[in-house]
Each structure stands twice: as C-alpha cells, then as structure tokens.
Amino acid sequence: MAVAGDTLVAIALAGTLFFSIDVGEARGEVFLYLGLTVAPFAVVAPLVGPALDRAAGGRRWMVVGAAGLRALVCLLMIRDVDSLLLFPEAFVLLVLAKSHQVAKSALVPTVVGSHAGLVEANSKLAMISGLVGFAAAIPGGLLLRFGGSEWVLALASVVFAAGTAVAWRIPRVQVAAEPESAAGRAELRSAAVLLAASAMGLLRGVVGFLTFLLAFALRTDGSPTWHFGVVLGVSAVGGLAGAALAPVLRRSIVEERILSGLLVVVAGMALVAAWLGGLPGAALIAASVGVGAAGAKQAFDSIVQRDAPDANRGRSFARFETRFQLIWVAGAVLGIIPMPMWLGFLLVAGTAAFAAVSYTAGSQSTRRRAERRRARAGGTDAGADRTDVLAPDPAVPPSIATPGGSADPTVVEDDR
C-alpha cells in the first residue's frame, strides 16, 4: 500500500506546480525543505527510536501514523496543487515515507524466526514493492492524462487510508525489550559490518542524488512529462530485478562479492549513461541504480545477520536504516545543484567506483589480518578466534555508518 501510494504521489507531482514553476525557484524551495527533512533523522530518531523499540507496538504505531498522515496530506495537496504550499506538503510526505521504511526495517525481523527466513522475507517484500509500484503507475498515468493531478492525489489518499487499516493488523510486538548486550554492540562495530554499512550508505546517497539530478535535468532540457514516467518505470523494474537477482547470487557467491560486484555494475553503467546522454542515458542509469540498490541492501542485511548474531535485529536494522535515510537526504541536496546530466552521471560512476574499491580493499585487508591472528593464536579455541574476528579493528578507516564521529573510527555510536 505504501509503495503504491508513493508511486501515485510521484506521478501526481509531475503534473503540478512542482514541475511547472521556474527551475531556479524550484531548486531553492527543494533545497530548503530537504534541509528540514534532516531534523527527523538526525535529531528526533536517535531520541525517540529507542523508546519506540521498547514499547509494545511502538513501531506499529509509527507505521499506522505514517500511513494515516499521508492520506490526510494528500487531501491537502489536492487543494494546493497550484500553490507554493505544495512544496512543504510534498516534503512532509517524504519524511513520512522515510519514517515508514525505518519502522518496516525494525518490524520485519520480529515476525521472522530465522536468518534464512529474514533474507527470504526481505527479498519477497522488495519484489512485491517493485510489482506494486509498477502496477500503480498504470492507473496513476491514466488519471493524470484524463483527469489531472487532483484525481491522482485523491487515489493516493484512498490507498494510504487502506494502508492505515491494514497496518492495524500488524502484531503489537516489542522490537527490543532489553538493552543491547555488550556482545551485540561489539559485533555491530566489527570491521566487516562497518565496511558494508559504508558501501551501502554511499549507494543510498547515490539514489538520493540521482533522484533530484534527473528531475531537474529533464526539466532544464524541456523534456515532456512522459520522460519522467519512463525513468520512474525503469527504476521500479530495476528494483524488482535486483530483489529477484540477489537470492540467486547468494546461492553461489558470498555477500561481500555481491555488494562489491553490484557497485562495479553501477559504476560501469553510469559511464555508459554519460556517453549516451538524454532519455536513454537517464533510463539506463535509473535501472542500474535500482538493481544495485535493491540487491546490495539484501547483501548488507545478510552480512549484519551473519556477523552480528547476538545483536537485536530489529533495533540494529532500524538504526542503520535511519542513517541510510540521512545519507539519502545528503545525496539529494547535492542533486539539486545545477550541473549537466552527463557530469552528474560521471559523479555517480566515481562514487560507486570509490565505494567498490574501498570496500573490496578493506574487506581483503580485514580478512588477511584475521587469518594472521588465527595463525598466531595457534591453539586457541574457536570462541577466541571469533572474538578476534569481531573485535573492532583500529586500521579500518572512518565509516559513514557512524554519523557524528567517535574516538574510535570503527565504533558505531550507541543510540540508547
């Protein structure tokens, strides 16, 4: 329901003041409200998140509230289609959508009993989201063509209202009844997890950057509205393909190679897109980033579950998702800076290539150090070896998975 509603809102915005006022004025409005979206993730989430995790049904209330408020905001947007009030209302929807994703990351592990089951559940959810988003685009496009943005927003409001009703059926569970254990904290600070979080964070920043780069670049070029529809559609198809591809790859390839390989693919396709330019280039990079982001997220989730078995999965995924959403916003802010489309594509290629190289090099270095430690330990038992591998490694470079910094660059800040 949430994905269908978000898709309908994106389609509706293509026919509103959001894409009809002067590009320079639009950049200023978008920059202002993107800056305001930082507050919920940088300030509010670290304070409120732990309380929601401890409360029975806390994250469920977050899902219900996000859906209900989006239904209401869509109704307000119908009235303000030709008003500048559309901008703050659109970014309220953005914050609510991101909040829903954080809550979902916390809730899914609580209703799945095993590591394999969680990976399978995340894969199915990603595939369903891609299919629903693609399906919602059909009636949304028809309503935009024959009725206008108001009708699309009305349908989005109905979808979010239905989502609110469905969300009441989510079990009232405690995501984290107990404080995080010392073992769980140590595992989440391990080099393998931090390196993967850094690579995933850079890729999520690329998604935010590309979203607004393409929106403004296509507008600047005077592209027709259907070009936006093509880019949105292939992005959804790419996400669906990535969700379907990741479980297949995991049968024969370790998660680290999946993550680094997808980053290489994104970098390569971004270079080709820069050479192609225009709508073909925009469609290619949107599809490839969709594949990369969906597949890499599943690989990252699997790495966290494998290397941090003692950490509370719901709480851990909610924290990481909050940080990823913050990085998405930072990438989106960079995306509104005026630049040629080809230059933006080259920046995407460079960022993805840097993430791939640094992640691969860091993983190999960590693995070699772990092997040397085991060799020196000689007769130590398996438990000691595991502690060695999971202990924070001072040689790992600072990670963007730890916003705000720490005395130890491998330590993820404790959100409690």
Could you report the per-residue pLDDT of 253-271, keeping only the tens digit for each?
888 899 999 999 999 999 9
- Calculate the CA dihedral of residues 163, 100, 231, 332 and round it to 10 degrees: 150
| Whole-number pLDDT of residue 346 | 96
Q: Which residue has the higher pLDDT, 386 or 181?
A: 181
Asked if residue 270 lies in contact with residue 345, where contact means CB atoms within 8 angstroms, the answer is yes
Examine the pLDDT at 251 and tell me if it is beyond 60: yes
Could you report how far apart the first and last alpha carbons of the chain are, in Å? 31
Residues in the chain: 416
| Whole-number pLDDT of residue 314 | 66
CA distances in angstroms from 170 to 68, 145, 232, 262, listed in the order given = 15, 36, 30, 33
Asked if residue 290 lies in contact with residue 166, where contact means CB atoms within 8 angstroms, the answer is no
**What average pLDDT does this structure show over 280-294?**
93
- Specify the CATH superfamily of domain 2-390: MFS general substrate transporter like domains (1.20.1250.20)
- The pLDDT tens digits for 116-175 are 666 677 777 777 877 887 788 888 888 887 888 889 899 999 999 998 998 888 777 766
CA distances in angstroms from 216 to 118, 221, 274, 282, 375, listed in the order given = 38, 9, 16, 12, 55
Q: Where are the alpha helices (DSSP H) in 251-381?
A: 255-276, 278-307, 313-335, 341-377
User: Taking the model in full, what pTM does it have?
Assistant: 0.76
Long-range contacts of 339-343 (CB under 8 A, 24+ apart): 339/213, 340/217, 341/213, 341/214, 341/217, 341/221, 341/277, 341/278, 341/281, 341/282, 342/274, 342/277, 342/281, 343/274
d(CA 148, CA 72): 19
Examine the pLDDT at 6 and tell me if it is beyond 90: no
d(CA 400, CA 145): 43
**What average pLDDT does this structure show over 107-114?**
67
- The pLDDT tens digits for 355-412 are 999 999 988 887 788 777 777 776 545 444 444 444 444 444 444 444 334 434 333 3
3-state DSSP call for residue 148? coil
| Whole-number pLDDT of residue 276 | 93
Asked if residue 54 lies in contact with residue 177, where contact means CB atoms within 8 angstroms, the answer is yes
Name the residue ranges covered by the structural domains of the chain.
2-390
| Whole-number pLDDT of residue 250 | 79
Average pLDDT, the chain: 78
| Whole-number pLDDT of residue 404 | 39
d(CA 389, CA 374): 9
Asked if residue 215 lies in contact with residue 26, where contact means CB atoms within 8 angstroms, the answer is no
Place 179 in a pLDDT band, splitting at 50, 70 and 90.
Answer: low
- Calculate the CA dihedral of residues 208, 209, 211, 212 and round it to 10 degrees: 120
- The pLDDT tens digits for 25-76 are 667 767 766 766 666 666 556 656 666 666 666 777 888 888 899 999 999 9
| Whole-number pLDDT of residue 237 | 85
